[in-house]
Amino acid sequence: MNFLIVFGVCIFMEGATWLIHRYIMHGFLWCLHRDHHDHSHNGKLERNDLFFFIFASPAIALLYLGVKQEFSYCFFIGLGISIYGMAYFFVHDVFIHQRAKVFTKTKNPYFLAIRRAHKQHHKHLGKEEGECFGFLWVPVKYFKMYFNKK
C-alpha cells in the first residue's frame, strides 16, 4: 500500500508539475521563472532557484508530519514528492543537459524525445506561447518522432 502511494504520487507529480509549470511558473510567478528562460538576471543567484525551495517545502512538511504521526500516509506522499524531485534533477541534469560526458551518444528514443521537447520549451523566451511544459512525459509527437525512426 505504502509503495503504491509513493508510486502514485510520483505519477501525480508529473501532472502537477505540468500544471504548476504551465499556469503558475508561466503564470503569476513568471517574475521568478523568467530568468531561467532569458537569463536576464545579472546577479549570481537566479530567482528561478527559489522554486527549489518552493518544491522542497511541501515535501519537508509532509515528511515531518508523517513521521510525527508514526509514518502515516503523509510520510509516503512526502517521500513520493522527494523521489520525484530527485528523479527530476537526475534526468534533467544527466540526460537532458548532459552536464557529464556520459550518455552523450544515447540512441534511446525516450531520452531523445524528452531532450527535444525540453529544447523546444526553451526556444520560447516569453511567458506566453510556450509549449512542452511536461517533463518526464511530453507531447506524443516527440515520442513519435524518435520511436518511428527506430
Partner 1 sequence: MMPYTYLLINFFTVIICFLASFDRRIQFNKLFGKFLLSSTIVAVPFIIWDIWFTAKGVWWFDLNYTLGAKIAGLPVEEWLFFYCIPFACVFTYYCLEKFFNLDWANVLNNLIVFTAVIFLSVTGILYYERIYTLLTVIVTIITLCYLHFIAQKEWLGKASFVYLLLMPGFFAVNGILTGSLIPSPVVNYNPDDFLGVRMGTIPVEDAVYGYSQFLLNIYFFKKITKNEK
Shortest distance, position 148 Cβ to partner 1, whole Å:
30
Given 15, 23, 40, 67, the residue binding partner 1 (CB under 8 A):
67
DSSP result, 90-147: HIIIIIIS--SSSSTT---HHHHHHHHHHHHHHH--SSSS-----SSS--HHHHHHHH
Helix axes 30-38, 50-68, angle to 10 degrees: 130
Shortest distance, position 81 Cβ to partner 1, whole Å:
9
Given 1, 4, 31, 45, the residue binding partner 1 (CB under 8 A):
45
For partner 1, the binding residues (CB under 8 A) are 44-45, 49, 52-53, 56, 59-60, 63-64, 67-68, 82, 85-86, 89-90, 92-94, 99-102
